C-alpha cells in the first residue's frame, strides 16, 4: 500500500519549491495530499498544486463539501507523515502555542502522526528570540525540524539562515522518517523503558542548593524516541523547564535520594537509561532556615556527604536488573578513557560519553556528539541534534534486545 503524505504549504516565497517536492515524492510512489494556507495561495495556485499532486487541494476549514467528504479530523489521521513546508514564522508560532484557527493548524493540532517542519523565512525572523523559543518548544514536543539552510534570500541584499532546504534533502528526510515511523515497525512494543533525566538539586538551606547545568533535553528526547518505538516509558525527571514528552509517564523528583527511590519503584524494566546529571554530593545537614551573612565572619564551611550512585545501584542488582543498562558519562577531558573506567566500575552494559566542556555548548544546547562505549569497543557518532542521538540510541537498544531474544530461542 502506498504511504501517504499530507503536505501543508505555508505562505512564503519558497512555496514554489513544493511543486518540485510533490513531483519527486510521487515519482517515488508516495501519495501526496495538500493543504494550502491562505497566504500560500499568494505564491502558488491550488490549480497548479492539484495538477502536480493529482489530488484535490484543501484550503478552507469551513468548506461544507470538504468536511462532508473527508473532514479535517480524518485529514489529520489519514496520513503516515505530515510535512509543513515552507514552515513560516507564523506557522511555527501557531504550532508551538497550539492554535487552531484555520484548516492547517486544526489538522496539526488534531494529528497523532509524525510531523516534519521545514522552516523558511527572513534571517532576522529566524534568529528572533520568539522564533527560537517556538522551535525549541516544537522539538521538545516531538516535531522534527529540518533546516533552515544558509544562503542568499529572495530579498535583495538579505543573506543568512532562513532558506528552505533543497528539495532532494527534504525528500531524503521524508523517506527516513517514513521508514522510522512505519506503524508496522514498533520494535519496543510491550517493553518497559526507564529513563532518568535532568539535574538534581541538593538543598543547602531553604533557598540555596547544589546542582549543575543539565537542561534535561537529551533525556527527554530519549524518552520521546522510546515511546515512538512502542515502549511503555517512565521518565524520572529532576527539575527542568521542558514539556512532558507525548505518551510518557513522568515522575518528578528534586534530590538524588528521591530519584533513586523513584527509579527503584519504577522497576522492573527491560531497558534502563541513566541520562540524569545526579549531584555526586549533598550537604550533610542542610539548614532549616536561610543561612545569613555576618559582618567580618568567615564563609560557612559546607560539610558534604556522598549521594548514592543510582547507575551503579541498578546495574549491580542481583535480582530484577534490567536487561540493558545504559549510563551517561559527561566529561570535560579524556572523555573515552573516563567512560571506559565508568563502564567497568558501574557495571553498566553501555556508556554514552560526551564532552560537556563549555566551548562545546552541549549543556543546555540542542546538539550533541557522543561515543558509545561497550565491552566490544568504542563507536564514535558524528555531531547531530539531540533528538537524532536519541532515536539512533533507541533503535540500537531495540536491536540489541531483539538479538538477545533471538539468541535465547
Name the catalytic one among 212, 307, 354, 368. 212
CA distances from 13 to 110, 121, 131, 214, 348 (A): 27, 9, 18, 39, 52
For 206, phi then psi, to 5°, come to -60, -15
Say how far apart CA 187 and CA 203 lie, in whole Å.
41
Cβ contact 148:7 at 8 Å: no
Supply angle C-alpha 97, 101, 102, rounded to 5.
120
Helix (H, G, I), strand (E, B) or coil at 192: strand
Cell of 115: 510531523
* 54 is an active site residue: no
- 148 upstream amide cis, omega within 30 of 0: yes
Backbone angles phi, psi at 137, to 5 degrees: -65, -45
Residue 22 C-alpha cell reads as: 510533490
Dihedral angle sign, alpha carbons of residues 42, 43, 47, 53: negative
Half-sphere exposure of 361 (CA within 13 A, CB side): 7
Tell me the Cα Rg of the chain: 24
The four Cα atoms 87, 162, 180, 111 give a dihedral, to 10 degrees, of: -20
The answer to whether the peptide bond before residue 325 is cis (omega within 30 degrees of 0) is no
Per the structure block, which three cell numbers stand in for 239?
A: 527539575
In the structure grid, which three cell numbers stand for residue 24, read together? 519527486
CB 38 within 8 A of CB 61: no
Task: Return d(Cα 379, Cα 364) in angstroms, integer.
Answer: 24
Give the active site residues.
212
Amino acid at each position: 500500500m502506498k504511504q501517504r503524505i499530507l503536505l501543508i504549504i505555508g505562505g512564503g516565497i519558497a512555496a514554489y519549491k513544493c511543486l518540485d517536492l510533490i513531483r519527486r515524492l510521487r515519482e517515488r510512489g508516495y501519495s501526496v495530499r495538500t493543504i494550502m494556507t491562505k497566504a500560500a495561495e499568494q505564491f502558488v495556485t491550488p490549480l497548479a498544486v492539484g495538477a502536480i499532486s493529482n489530488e484535490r487541494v484543501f484550503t478552507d476549514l469551513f468548506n461544507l463539501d470538504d468536511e462532508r467528504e473527508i473532514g479535517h479530523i480524518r485529514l489529520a489521521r489519514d496520513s503516515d507523515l505530515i510535512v509543513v513546508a515552507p514552515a513560516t514564522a507564523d506557522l511555527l508560532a501557531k504550532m508551538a502555542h497550539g492554535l487552531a484557527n484555520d484548516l492547517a493548524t486544526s489538522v496539526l493540532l488534531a494529528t497523532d502522526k509524525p510531523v516534519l517542519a521545514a522552516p523558511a523565512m527572513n534571517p532576522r525572523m529566524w534568529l528572533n528570540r520568539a522564533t527560537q523559543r517556538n522551535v525549541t518548544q516544537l522539538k521538545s514536543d516531538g516535531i522534527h525540524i529540518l533546516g533552515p539552510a544558509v544562503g542568499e534570500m529572495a530579498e535583495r541584499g538579505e543573506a543568512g539562515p532562513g532558506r528552505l532546504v533543497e528539495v532532494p534533502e527534504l525528500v531524503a528526510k521524508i523517506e527516513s522518517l517514513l521508514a522510522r515511523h512505519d506503524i508496522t515497525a514498533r520494535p519496543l512494543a510491550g517493553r518497559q523503558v526507564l529513563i532518568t533525566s535532568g539535574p538534581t538539586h541538593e538543598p543547602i538551606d531553604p533557598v540555596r542548593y547544589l546542582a549543575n547545568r543539565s537542561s534535561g533535553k537529551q533525556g527527554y528526547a530519549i524518552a520521546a524516541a522510546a515511546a515512538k518505538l512502542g515502549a511503555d516509558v517512565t521518565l524520572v525527571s529532576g527539575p527542568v523547564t521542558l514539556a512532558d514528552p507525548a505518551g510518557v509517564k513522568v515522575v518528578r523528583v528534586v534530590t538524588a535520594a528521591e530519584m533513586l527511590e523513584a527509579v527503584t519503584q519504577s522497576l522492573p524494566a527491560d531497558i534502563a537509561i541513566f541520562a540524569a546529571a545526579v549531584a555526586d554530593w549533598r550537604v550533610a545537614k542542610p539548614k532549616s532556615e536561610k543561612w545569613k551573612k555576618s559582618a567580618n565572619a568567615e564563609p560557612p564551611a559546607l560539610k558534604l556527604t556522598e549521594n548514592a550512585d543510582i547507575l551503579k545501584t541498578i546495574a549491580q542488582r542481583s535480582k530484577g536488573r534490567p536487561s540493558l543498562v545504559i549510563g551517561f558519562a559527561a566529561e570535560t577531558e579524556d572523555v573515552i578513557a573516563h567512560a571506559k573506567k565508568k563502564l567497568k566500575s558501574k557495571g553498566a552494559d553501555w556508556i554514552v560519553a560526551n564532552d560537556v566542556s563549555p566551548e562545546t555548548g552541549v549543556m543546555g544546547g540542542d546538539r550533541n556528539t557522543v561515543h558509545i562505549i561497550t565491552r566490544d569497543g568504542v563507536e564514535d557518532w558524528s555531531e547531530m541534534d539531540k533528538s537524532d542521538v536519541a532515536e539512533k540510541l533507541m533503535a540500537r537498544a531495540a536491536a540489541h534486545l531483539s538479538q538477545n531474544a533471538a539468541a535465547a530461542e
